[in-house]
Amino acid sequence: MKSLGALIGEQLHAGDLVLLKGDLGAGKTALTQGIGSALGITGITSPTFVISRIHHGKETLVHVDAYRLVGEPMAIFDDLDLDTQLQSSIIVIEWGERFIDRLADSYLEIMIEFGVGDNDRVVTSKGHGARWRGFQL
């Protein structure tokens, strides 16, 4: 997952929004660590309890875990002020299906599913908007 994340991270720039989908333990944070490594960022951990962490490297990476916001009012998500951060940062959001349309029409959706073996994963991507036309993992 980290290697795949690094390949994706090499293609990202400020203004990009990435939605990570998958069950608990599927590898969303590991993928984000790989994205961070491509940006020269280390020490990425899951922001489950703090909701959002900002990391500085070649580009600023905002890592959001909206798991604890499921069922909460939209205003709590809005308080993160991600729409203004998106202009100058790369935002990777886990568990953000409910909130993604509030941020942008253009984003990369990555689905991580468990494969047959314990360490196997099936990863698919879907680009939304012109920015992601032709993007491939």
**What domains lie within the chain, and their CATH numbers?**
2-127 (3.40.50.300)
pLDDT at 65: 92
Taking the CA of residue 95 as centre, how many other CA atoms within 13 Å lie in the half-sphere pointing to its CB?
20
Task: Please tell me the predicted confidence (pLDDT) of residue 115.
Answer: 86
Cα–Cα separations (whole angstroms), residue 123 to 5, 26, 53, 80, 128:
11, 10, 24, 28, 17
Full pLDDT tens readout for the chain, 137 residues:
999 999 999 999 999 999 999 999 999 999 999 999 999 999 999 888 889 999 999 999 999 999 888 777 777 878 888 888 888 999 999 999 988 988 899 999 999 999 888 789 999 999 999 999 988 77
